[in-house]
């Protein structure tokens, strides 16, 4: 297994670690969870960059990299709902889009076609990562490691009542648009409906 694929597998493992940390009450747990999530998100950028730069693109990577991204982001959003930082209906729409695209990839795979991630989907992922990190920093800001960030949430324009809903709206719009675009571009796979 090459390095980019190992990073993809590592992202999956870190996702489970992140969820475990978020679901138990640990001292400095929010800060630790934030750091684990950031490391997992960084592997998302590294694996694709290394695969393209060193010509290590594989079918495993084309299939598992987007899947690992979806698992990480879905875990992040579900944890935000469980901590009442994001509306459940938004996360349901995001999850529905992710399942739809994953299902489309499975249909393509059954026909011997590998559907790689698209640019709009990559922008969607970046904004989703930004939004989840914003709320995770908000959660961690009362803890000593991230107390220096508390000002960000006390200042109204960057606080959770203004910046939070804006980030959620950006994520939702990009998620829906990228999902519809993906389905439209690959509609021939669903031609027998």
User: What are the residue boundaries of the structural domains of the chain, listed by start?
Assistant: 3-187
Calculate helix-pair angle for 59-82, 88-110, nearest 10 degrees.
Answer: 160
Instruction: Please state which CATH number belongs to domain 3-187.
Output: 1.20.120.1760
Question: Rounded distance, CA 3 to CA 152, Å?
Answer: 37
Q: What is the pTM of this model?
A: 0.90
- pLDDT tens, position by position, for the chain (193 residues)? 899 899 999 999 999 999 999 999 899 999 999 999 999 999 988 988 888 888 888 888 877 888 898 899 999 999 999 999 999 999 999 999 988 888 887 788 777 777 766 788 889 989 999 999 999 999 999 999 999 999 999 999 999 999 999 999 999 999 999 999 888 888 887 777 6
Write out the chain in H/E/C secondary structure. Answer: CCHHHHHHHHHHHHHHHHHHHHHCCCCCHHHHHHHHHHHHHHHHHHHHHHHHHCCCCCHHHHHHHHHHHHHHHHHHHHHHHHCCCCCHHHHHHHHHHHHHHHHHHHHHHHCCCCCCCCHHHHHHHHHHHHHHHHHHHHHHCCCHHHHHHHHHHHCHHHCCCCHHHHHHHHHHHHHHHHHHHHHHHCHHHHCCC
């Amino acid at each position: 297994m090459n390095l980019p694929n190992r990073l993809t597998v590592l992202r999956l493992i870190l996702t489970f670690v992140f969820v475990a940390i978020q679901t138990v009450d640990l001292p400095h747990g929010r800060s630790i969870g934030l750091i684990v999530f950031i490391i997992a998100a960084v592997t998302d950028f590294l694996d694709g960059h290394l695969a393209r730069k060193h010509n290590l693109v594989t079918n495993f990577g084309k299939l598992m990299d987007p899947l690992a991204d979806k698992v990480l982001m879905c875990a992040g959003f579900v944890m935000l709902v469980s901590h009442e930082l994001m509306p459940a209906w938004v996360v349901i729409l995001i999850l529905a889009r992710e399942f739809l695209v994953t299902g489309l990839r499975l249909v393509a795979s059954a026909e011997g076609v590998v559907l790689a991630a698209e640019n709009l989907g990559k922008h969607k992922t970046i904004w989703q990562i930004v939004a989840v990190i914003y709320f995770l920093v908000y959660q961690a800001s009362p803890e000593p490691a991230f107390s220096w960030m508390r000002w960000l949430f006390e200042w109204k324009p960057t606080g959770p009542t203004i910046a939070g809903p804006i980030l959620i709206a950006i994520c939702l719009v990009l998620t829906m648009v990228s999902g519809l675009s993906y389905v439209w571009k690959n509609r021939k796979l669903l031609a027998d409906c």
